[in-house]
Structure formats: C-alpha cells, structure tokens
Structure 1
Amino acid sequence: MIGLCMGLAGVVWSQLLVDDFTLAWNHSIEKVRWEEDYRVAPSGLLLGEARVKGSGAGMEIPDDARLHDGSWHYQRQLPPLQPLRLGRTPQAGDYHLCIDGRCLVLSHWLGPPQASQPAVEMWSCELG
C-alpha cells in the first residue's frame, strides 16, 4: 500500500495513508498564500494544480495562469518528485497539509520547525 512519508535523508518521521493532499503555506515575506495539489504515486509525488493569491518578491505568476475566486490557478509539468524537499524554519512559519479538506500544520505530525533541522522531505512510500 502506497502512502506519504515525511522525514529527512530517507529516515521516516511520520507516515500517512493518503492518495492525495494539498500543501499550503504563506510566503515568508509577502504573506501571500500558496497551495499545491499532489497525488501520491509509486513513482513519487505528482504535482497537479497550484494556486497563489498574488505576486511579489520571487513570486511571479505564470503566463498561463487564470484568475478564479481570488486566486491565480496554474499547472506545471514536472516529473514525479521523489522526494519533495521543503525548507522549514521557525522564522518562516509552518506548512499546512490538507487532506480531504482538513488542514493541519506539519507540526501536528513532526513537531515544531527547528533551526537545527531546517528542512523536511516528503515522498511516496510503501506502508507496512
């Protein structure tokens, strides 16, 4: 059975039985919300649609994005991400992991972001 693993350097800190999820966060400087939808597949995490509320420093909206309900919606063609590496520090705030419309901060599964551990990885994995 395939699920979502979270950890670092192949060391699993948490596992979730999910087929898909949304990763959401607020840009640390512009305070603009970003969301990315992923599907969990044996080959890795497949990025679907992404949404952003606005642009700013290092946050250019893609040319093919369309404005809908106050957010710019777009899709990127990326190979499966295996792993997806996220910077995670106390200063930047935490990511939200949304499953079936319910969003919780990554701290719920991993504990709070720590300066001594400034990254986390997510990947598809076999659940035992």
Structure 2
Amino acid sequence: MIGLCLGLSGAIWAQVQVSDFTLAWNHTIEKVRWEEDYRVTEAGLVLGEARVKGNGAGMDIPEGARLENGSWRFHRQLPPLQPLKLGRTPQAGDYQLCHAGHCQPMSHWLGAPSTEQPAVELWSCTL
C-alpha cells in the first residue's frame, strides 16, 4: 500500500496512511491561509487544486484563478513531486495535514518546528 512519508534526505520520520491529503498553512507575513490538495501516487505527489484567501508578499493569485466561497481557486500543471520540500521553522508556524475533513498540525507526527531542523520533505512511499 502506498502512503505518505515525512522526513528528510530519505530518512523516514513518520508515515501517514492516506491516498490524498490537503497541505495547509498561514502565510508568515500576510496571515492568509493557503491550501493545496495532493494525490499520493507511485510517481510522487500530484498537485490538484490550490486555494488561497487573498494575495500578498510573494503570493500573487495566478491568472485564470476563480473566486469561490471566499477563496481563489486554481490549478497548476506540475509533474509529480518526489519529494515535496518544505521549510518548517518556529517563526513560520506549522503546516497542517488534512484528510477526510480533519486537519492536524504536522507537529502531531514530527514534534514542534525547530531551528535545528528547519526543513521537512514529503514523498509517496510503500507502507
């Protein structure tokens, strides 16, 4: 069975049994929520729809986005990501992993963000 691995440089820190998930976070300066939907495949993480509540520093709403229920919704055409690299520091706050309508901070699996370990990678893996 394929699921989601969290770690760095191939070292697995946690595994999550999901076939799809939403990665959510708040922009560090603008405090605007950003969400990206991913599907877990053997080739990697496939980005589906992305949503953002508004634009700001480094967060321009892409051309073709549509406003729906207070969020700008759009799709980006990217190859599967394997791995998806994320910065994770105490100053930026934590990411959330959401699945089946329930969200948990990434700290649930990895502990709190720290300056000693300011990054994490997500990739598809065999559970």
TM-score range, shorter chain: over 0.9
Q: Map 1:59-70; keep pairs closer than 5 Å.
A: 59-70=59-70
Cα root mean square deviation, aligned: 0.4
Tell me the residue number matched to 1:58: 58
Partner of 1:104: 104
TM-score (norm 1): 0.98
Q: 1:4: which partner in 2?
A: 4
Q: Distance in 2 between matches of 1:6 and 1:52?
A: 24
Determine the structure 1 residue equivalent to 2:120: 120
Q: Which amino acid aligns with 2:13?
A: W
CA distances 1:93-114 after superposition (whole Å, capped 9, x unpaired):
0000001110000000000000
1:9-30 Cα deviation digits (max 9, x unpaired) = 0000000111000000000000
State the match for 1:92 in structure 2: 92
Determine what percentage of the aligned residue pairs are the same residue. 72
1:20 aligned partner: 20
Q: Give SS of 1:78's match.
A: coil
What residue identity is the alignment partner of 1:29?
I
Q: By how many angstroms is 1:81 displaced?
A: 0.1
Q: Could you give the per-residue CA deviations for residues 70-120 of structure 1, whole angstroms, max 9, x where no partner exists?
A: 000000000000000000000000000001110000000000000010000
The count of aligned residue pairs is: 127
Give the structure 2 partner of residue 39 of structure 1.
Answer: 39
Q: Quick one: distance in 2 between partners of 1:54 and 1:63?
A: 14
Q: Distance in 2 between matches of 1:58 and 1:65?
A: 16
Letter in 1 for 2:124: S
Amino acid at match of 1:23: L
Q: After TM superposition, where is structure 1 displaced by more than 4 Å over at least 4 residues in a row? A: none
TM-score, scaled to structure 2: 0.99
Q: Which runs of 5+ in 1 are unaligned?
A: none
